[in-house]
């Protein structure tokens, strides 16, 4: 009888331990699963599966990592955080970073709704981590870049993302082309003056903050007459002119105070043409000849259309909120929720 009782007690103890293990295992899995990443090549969650949620944060974005040559799938808000880290200096004011987060989120939501997965090197990815779409940094990238500052910097990024969670910029109910650039020349540019396309919310507005704040506001580049000829595809070298006129003459400027059309060596170019062919920082520039070399000084950095990042930081330093910043640089827009726009959609 004593042996029988011992066996019964032993069996009960085993059964109790087994039940405890069964209960504990799911809890362990929940704690150790990374909620922001899914395996490369995983099938993204469709918007139809998001309808019961209050936001689109569980939407999965497959991102092609150009250096690793692989696809990493991350949830929407983690993707926005990675874009924010790559596209804006971490030293910027929080409200400027929140404005950038909304622009980044708007970009990917618009791309999803338009089913625009173009310029991809592989199938199955929606965006790359390069400026062909939006620059994006992984957590591993940021740990290597920031070292001991990683935790505090990530806290700041997460706050900017969380405080704008699910927010997107819209015009007449649709996500906007939330274009942005580094530094203005004192004004932003009308869309049609750079891209030959009128977009009603991409209007020229003053951005006076950049001149005092941005280290990229003014840059000077030197070209030889031969380099100028080759890069611009001219038949002959541009003759040097002590006055800076003659062979080079501005024909027309834009509302954003950039060069719209210019004559160089008898050939007419747009300001954008010259900027891109010569690799200039901006399409607003002045020049002077130093012997046989041409010095070109640019004002601002980037195409100039949409939100100036340094302008946004200047507004934030003056106490303006993210909502004020985006509505200033994007004329006539509203702020909506990604979940509203994606609801009922499938892809």
DSSP 191: T
Please enumerate in sequence order all residues whose Cβ is within 8 A of that of 243, keeping only pairs 6 or more positions apart, or say none. Answer: none
Supply the pLDDT for residue 119.
81
The torsion angle over the Cα atoms of residues 143, 146, 151 and 154, rounded to 10 degrees, is -90
Tokens 């100039």 map to which residue? 304
Supply the pLDDT for residue 246.
58
**pLDDT tens-digit readout, 86-112:** 999 999 999 999 999 999 999 999 999
CB distance 136 to 63 below 8 Å: yes
Measured CA to CA, the distance from residue 18 to residue 20 in angstroms comes to 5
Q: Which residues pair with 219 in a beta bridge?
A: 298
In the predicted model, residues of the chain with pLDDT beneath 50 are 1, 3-8, 10-52, 242-244
pTM, full prediction: 0.82
Q: What is the distance, to the nearest Å, from the Cα of residue 180 to the centroid of all Cα atoms in its chain?
A: 8
**pLDDT tens-digit readout, 153-196:** 999 999 999 999 999 999 999 999 999 999 999 999 999 999 99
Measured CA to CA, the distance from residue 162 to residue 172 in angstroms comes to 25
Supply the pLDDT for residue 17.
41
Kind of pairing, strands 180-181 and 167-171? Answer: unpaired
CB distance 342 to 43 below 8 Å: no
């Amino acid at each position: 009888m004593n042996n029988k009782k011992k066996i019964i007690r032993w069996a009960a103890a085993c059964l109790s331990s087994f039940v405890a293990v069964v209960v504990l295992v799911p809890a362990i899995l929940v704690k150790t699963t990374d909620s922001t990443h899914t395996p490369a090549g995983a099938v993204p969650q469709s918007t139809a599966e998001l309808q019961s949620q209050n936001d689109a944060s569980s939407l999965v974005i497959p991102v092609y990592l150009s250096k690793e040559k692989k696809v990493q799938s991350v949830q929407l808000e983690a993707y926005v955080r990675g874009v924010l880290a790559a596209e804006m200096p971490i030293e910027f004011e929080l409200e400027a970073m929140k404005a950038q987060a909304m622009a980044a989120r708007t970009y990917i939501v618009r791309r999803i709704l338009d089913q625009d997965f173009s310029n991809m090197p592989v199938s199955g990815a929606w965006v790359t981590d390069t400026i062909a779409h939006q620059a994006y940094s992984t957590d591993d990238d940021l740990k290597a870049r920031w070292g001991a500052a990683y935790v505090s910097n990530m806290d700041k990024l997460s706050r900017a993302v969380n405080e704008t969670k699910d927010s997107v910029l819209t015009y007449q109910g649709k996500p906007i082309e939330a274009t942005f650039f580094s530094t203005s020349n004192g004004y932003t540019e009308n869309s049609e003056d750079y891209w030959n396309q009128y977009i009603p919310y991409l209007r020229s507005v003053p951005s006076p903050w950049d001149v005092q704040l941005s280290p990229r506001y003014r840059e000077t580049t030197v070209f030889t007459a031969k380099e100028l000829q080759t890069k611009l595809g001219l038949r002959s070298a541009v003759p040097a002119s002590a006055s800076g006129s003659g062979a080079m003459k501005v024909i027309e400027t834009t509302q954003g105070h950039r060069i719209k059309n210019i004559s160089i060596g008898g050939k007419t170019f747009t300001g954008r043409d010259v900027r891109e062919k010569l690799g200039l920082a901006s399409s607003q520039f002045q020049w002077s000849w130093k012997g046989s070399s041409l010095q070109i000084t640019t004002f601002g950095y980037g195409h100039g259309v949409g939100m100036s990042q340094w302008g946004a930081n200047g507004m934030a330093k003056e106490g303006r909120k993210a909502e004020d910043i985006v509505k200033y640089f994007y004329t006539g827009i509203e702020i909506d929720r990604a979940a509203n726009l994606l609801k009922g959609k499938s892809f």
